[in-house]
Structure 1
């Protein structure tokens, strides 16, 4: 299991044991890492991950607090990080998305207009290296949702929106753990838009396959590394 996962498990145990409750302030990073027998770097990554999924609230100049969510919800939110690599269904969802979304993108090509293309470009330009992981994932959902909607098939759109919603947490975790995730995502989005702009459905479809497959391959690799 990855060291960050171990740190998250140990914080989870503190909540289960009653050492931490909603609203409580965590001990200082140095003290916490020493008491749990973990490095400060792994503890820092764990805190960052738990902040993204709203288990912890990091207040600059004040400290890190457990959020006000009830214990059951806190534990459910934490569980997905550790259990992600054991859940084959997430990989299966990505596999289905890889089959359907490129086809939807190809269908959407025929419905593109200059205004739509410009809007997609503006969506991409609103994100940069300073954008938070949450901001990047929000952009990713909006970008793909806009294209899929233009496929003109309401059943396909609804199905893909459901698939996309169930893969959000994996995409957040990729953003936290993979270097250059923002730059890579934006470059792939730009390539898809340019293919749509010239009306090349086959190219847009192929680029979408590569884009969706990248997340699937990362998740598979991360899962295997976590199990090692």
Structure 2
């Protein structure tokens, strides 16, 4: 471990042990360096690294602060890491999604509010209207699932699934473009998920979500096994006319709605 890594670890330990609380201001650089037995150069390098990791933030003219340490902030880098995965990882990510999202949908069924249901239903209605436009349909498909996961009230779970699901978007667009019947089946499967959520039935919600994700995974697995080439650059185009429904690209931002 380098000296800089040791300095980073010591600051992280201070945060973990409660010596530095979320939102608190760090002591002046010289004082903190002396307290930790570090040189000022090492302290600067450690602070820079923790700023990149969204653990610290520098406020010009004010000082360095611990961030909110919220899951959505600290896990933001996960999306970039997932994006850089090499090889045939889309199937692995789809498997991870299959393991997590049905359980999240079941949890949502026990916590979802009428307002949440209205948002989910709005995206399903938009999917029906866009059934002849695969890219637009997929964007609302993604927003549908993100709304469901957000209804769990579990920010950590929502953030993890957001980044994992975002990497599988191109596969779902590919299926929609290649399979003429995909749009109709997808809408039917989403209706089943919504019906289970309306009924507040966690078992039914989990089963409906599992069936839906399995359908996409099976299609993808079969086509890759047949030698089909996964498209290197395919994804829904931005829809500037819908500012409340963020665009999905090959690399969705952490604030974009994802799922599907």
- Aligned CA RMSD, in angstroms, stands at 1.9
1:154 Cα deviation after fit: 1.4
Q: Is the 8 A contact 2:116 2:147 kept in 1?
A: no
Looking at structure 2, the residues matched to 137 and 123 of structure 1 have their Cα atoms a distance apart, in angstroms, of 10
1:130 Cα deviation after fit: 4.5
Considering only CA atoms, is the larger Rg found in Structure 1 or Structure 2? 2
- The gaps in structure 2 that reach 5 residues or longer are 1-85, 230-260
Q: How does 1:111-126 map to 2 (within 5 A)?
A: 111-126=111-126
Looking at structure 2, the residues matched to 88 and 212 of structure 1 have their Cα atoms a distance apart, in angstroms, of 18
SS in 1 for 2:132: coil
Q: Is the 8 A contact 2:102 2:209 kept in 1?
A: yes
User: 2:163 — aligned with what?
Assistant: 162
User: 1:202 — aligned with what?
Assistant: 203
Q: 1:162 to 1:204 in 2, by over 3 A?
A: same
The alignment of Structure 1 onto Structure 2 pairs a total of residues equal to 143
SS in 2 for 1:182: helix
Looking at structure 2, the residues matched to 168 and 155 of structure 1 have their Cα atoms a distance apart, in angstroms, of 21
Looking at structure 2, the residues matched to 174 and 187 of structure 1 have their Cα atoms a distance apart, in angstroms, of 16
User: 1:145 — aligned with what?
Assistant: 146
Q: Is the 8 A contact 2:175 2:182 kept in 1?
A: yes
Q: How does 1:54-133 map to 2 (within 5 A)?
A: 87-128=87-128, 130-133=131-134
Q: Is the 8 A contact 1:107 1:152 kept in 2?
A: no
1:227 Cα deviation after fit: 5.9
1:40-99, Cα deviation, whole Å (9 max, x unpaired): xxxxxxxxxxxxxxxxxxxxxxxxxxxxxxxxxxxxxxxxxxxxxx94311000000000
Q: 1:226 to 1:106 in 2, by over 3 A?
A: same
User: 1:222 — aligned with what?
Assistant: 223
Looking at structure 2, the residues matched to 130 and 194 of structure 1 have their Cα atoms a distance apart, in angstroms, of 20
1:150 Cα deviation after fit: 1.3
1:109 Cα deviation after fit: 1.1
User: 1:134 — aligned with what?
Assistant: 135
